[in-house]
Amino acid sequence: MKLWNNNNNIDQRIEKFTIGNDPAYDIILAPYDVQGSLAHAAMLYKINYLTSQEYNLLKKGLNEIASEIEVGSFVIEDHVEDVHSQVEKLLTDRYGDVGKKLHVGRSRNDQVAVDLKLFYRDEISKINRLVKSLALIFLKKAEETKDTYMPGYTHTQVGMVSSFGLWYSSYAEALSDDLALIFSIQKIVDQNPLGSAAGYGSSLPNDRDATTEALNFSGMHINSIYAQNSRGKSELMLGYIFSSISATLNRWCNDTISFCNENYNFLKLPGDLTTGSSIMPHKKNPDVIELIRAKCNQLSSVSSQVQNITSNLMTGYHRDYQLLKEIIFPAFSTLKSILDLSIYCVSSIVEKEDIMEDEKYTYCYSVEKVNAYVKKGISFRDAYHKVKDEINSGSFSIESITIDHTHIGSMGNLGIDRIREKIG
């Protein structure tokens, strides 16, 4: 069954090529297709296109299909092209000609667009919850390790004294920015395209405000052309979410992999987060975190993949958009698994407590000594050269140095409550 059938025989190779992997993604969209159809049917009843009896039959049939989807018995039959066709076929088979009335006032273009918007909205909410949970885990670890010192690095060289609390809370705040981006993009994505039909509206008096309210969208794509042109734009915005979160976690992965290395020996991973070697009995490889890093690198290309498909398209619907599902759907699954495992990894890491006792980190305290002289009234530049001379002469000592950082965002004042407010 093809809604667009024009009585021409279609070469099976062409049909297979044009359908591609869509049936697998359509099963995922099935519950959203029913949601959209329920809202559309209610709107058609409101504008007097459907009688009360017809509307109740459609509503009954759609709710039956929704239940079948929920229990997993809904399938898209081999000869049926897509989820939209399958839903209409079931309604028509079970309730007669009333099933044929459901499509009036809309096109498959706005039908799939609303399905995707509803799906994206749910997926963004799931990502939001996972990112927030991870950020709070980082804050919990920051609170637990705020007095455990470690060296801080610039140019990958030993720089100044830092702490695990400062390191962990940096990632919590980075994720708070990712959450702000998610919030902004959710607002852009959460707009109703239903009723725009093929992109040029309908001669029926579609009540688009009614479907917007029924589907609980925060807004509407008002212009019918832009409702269609938002395909690709929404996916590009989602790519920014994937890239931003991936950038945060990629850096954390690199840090953690390095800090677990014997040459650093700052962190220890539990056994279930490492793998061994087939030849080296002592190896404990951080494979899980390496794969998180690699998957983050994959996700960082989502926006560019979307741009490559959509950047040369003119106004209106194009079949090219179908391929965006093959990019976005797996990306959501990958990001959720990354976040879920990251929560477990961060919770399980053990920090070494006596790192700064190693003499190779002695010069981490040079700035502390400069500031100690400054507090005694020596100018910063003179204090800097005084400490530099001590280092060059071999007389530098840290015996009288104490760590006293009090400003907001420093080791002694992490600002955890403020970061928690940013996380929300």
Residue-wise pLDDT for 34-43, tens only, equals 999 999 999 9
Distance, in Å, from the CA atom of 116 to the CA atom of 327, rounded to the nearest integer, reads: 13
Residue 294 to residue 246: CA distance in whole angstroms: 10
**Candidate from 124-128, 173-177, 270-274 with smallest mean pLDDT:** 270-274
What are the pLDDT digits (tens) for 213-261? 999 999 999 999 999 999 999 999 999 999 999 999 999 999 999 999 9
Q: Tell me if the pTM is above 0.85.
A: yes
List the CATH code of the domain at 12-101.
Answer: 1.10.275.10
Q: What is the pLDDT of residue 310?
A: 95
- As a whole-number percent, the residues of the chain with pLDDT over 90 amount to 88
Give percent helix, percent strand, percent coil of the chain, each to the nearest 5: 65, 5, 30
pLDDT at 213: 98
The phi, psi pair for 107, rounded to 5°, reads -125, 165
Taking a C-beta distance cutoff of 8 angstroms, is the pair 241, 327 a contact?
A: no
Other beta carbons within 10 angstroms of residue 365's beta carbon come to: 20
H or E element: which one contains 84?
Answer: helix 83-95
Give, in order, the Cα–Cα distances in Å from 378 to each of 22, 30, 78, 384, 388: 72, 72, 83, 10, 14
| pLDDT for the residue numbered 153 | 96
pLDDT of 9 higher than 90: no
- Give the CA count within 13 Å in the CB-facing half-sphere of 334: 23
pLDDT score, position 79: 84
For 109-202+223-356, which CATH class? mainly alpha
pLDDT band at residue 402 using 50, 70 and 90 as cut-offs:
confident
CA nearest neighbour of 19 among 72, 66, 100, 85: 85
Q: How confident is the model at residue 17 (pLDDT cuts 50, 70, 90)?
A: low
Residues of the chain with CATH 1.20.200.10: 109-202+223-356
The span from the CA of 87 to the CA of 276, in Å, is 51
- CB contact set of 93 (below 8 Å; sequence gap of 6+): 99
* 52: region left, alpha or beta (phi > 0 left; psi from -120 to 50 alpha): alpha
Distance CA(379)–CA(328), nearest Å, equals 57
One-letter amino acid for residue 203 of the chain: S
| Better-predicted residue by pLDDT, 284 or 177 | 177
Domain(s) labelled CATH 1.10.275.10 in the chain stretch across 12-101
Question: Distance (Å, rounded) from C-alpha 319 to C-alpha 40?
Answer: 24
Rounded mean pLDDT, 83-105: 96
pLDDT of residue 19: 65
